[in-house]
Structure 1
Amino acid sequence: MDELFVLHLNFQEDAPVYHVTPAQRRSVNQLSEEEQIKIAKRIGLIQHLPTGQYDGSKKIRECVICMLDFQIGDPVRFLPCMHIYHTKCIDDWLMRSFTCPSCLEPVEAALLSSYDDGAQ
């Protein structure tokens, strides 16, 4: 096989895969410019959500996404609705759907309204 062709195949296999919609996933190489911008904005919004470590003081003891109990020191992310999840679990979820998996509150609307409140 041609070396350049093999290199191209390996690059495509290693390319990240994103969910354009909850049911549609494509390699970053297959995304339109508009889809890439939308995903970049979503990643930026996710990074603005606060994170921490589970300290055992919360009533919530289980991540409802993976259904595993939180362990002391687990990295967690807090949503504006005050629900908490393992960081990896919720980040993956939010790349597909920008709503809280527990209460279905739109995360983006809460984030954007908090920016608007701060700007006044």
Structure 2
Amino acid sequence: FFFLTESSSVGQEQVPVPVYHPTPSQTRLATQLTEEEQIRIAQRIGLIQHLPKGVYDPGRDGSEKKIRECVICMMDFVYGDPIRFLPCMHIYHLDCIDDWLMRSFTCPSCMEPVDAALLSSYETN
């Protein structure tokens, strides 16, 4: 979900501190987040976990329409790669899209909000 760039010492071990993006342009260590930002990030993680995931299988249909590349990392999908499906039907490598969605809750291909209805129902509860 996040880049591990900072570390702190616990005894003799170096323990990585997760880095989050409260907004797409901000980067902060988990230890520097406000309570409100922590809640928003926890809600976002929960929403991401509700998006369907699967395993890439090009199947028997070798049509040209078939998506063959993750537009985030630009790498071809390989049979068995873990993938996540967005409501707009675009697919991405699981790790690529989960990291993307922690920064921006829009599809990187069509810029559609990933699920505004689900997000608003979370925020009103």
Above 0.5 in TM-score?
Answer: yes
- Tell me: CA distance 1:20–1:108, structure 2 relative to 1, closer, same or farther (3 Å): same
- Matches of 1:13 and 1:63, distance apart in 2: 31
Report how far residue 41 of structure 1 moved.
Answer: 0.2
Match for residue 73 of structure 1? 80
Once residues 93 and 111 of structure 1 are traced to their aligned partners in structure 2, the CA distance between those partners, rounded to angstroms, is 18
Q: After the TM superposition, which segments of 4 or more aligned residues of structure 1 sit over 6 Å from their partners?
A: none
Count residues in correspondence. 107
- For residue 87 of structure 1, the aligned residue among 83, 94, 114 is 94
SS of residue matched to 1:39: helix
Question: Which structure has more strand as a fraction of its residues?
Answer: 2
Larger-Rg structure: 1
Gaps of 5+ in 1: 1-7, 116-120
SS at 1:15's partner residue?
A: strand
Contact 2:8 2:17 in 1 (8 A): no
* Structure with the higher fraction of residues in helix conformation: 1
Identity %: 73
2:110 is matched with 103
1:46 aligns with 2:53: no
Q: Deviations over 1:31-55 (max 9, x none)?
A: 0000000000000000000000000
C-alpha separation between the residues in 2 aligned to 1:103 and 1:91? 16
Gaps of 5+ in 2: 1-6, 60-64
Instruction: Answer yes or no: is the 8 Å Cα contact 1:80–1:110 preserved in 2.
Output: no
Q: Provide the TM-score with structure 2 as the length reference.
A: 0.78
Instruction: Give me the TM-score of the superposition, normalised by structure 1.
Output: 0.81
Instruction: Compute the displacement of 1:10 (Å).
Output: 2.1
1:17 corresponds to: 19
Residues 83 and 102 in structure 1, CA contact (< 8 A), matched pair in contact too = yes
Residues 109/74 of structure 1: CA separation in 2 closer, same or farther (3 Å cut): same
Q: CA RMSD in A?
A: 2.1
Deviation at 1:108, TM superposition (A): 2.8
- Determine if contact 1:74/1:86 at 8 Å carries over to the other structure: yes
Change (3 A) 1:20 1:13: farther
Alignment of 1:24-35 (within 5 A): 24-35=26-37
Q: Which amino acid aligns with 1:45?
A: L
The 2-side partners of 1:62 and 1:32 are apart by 37
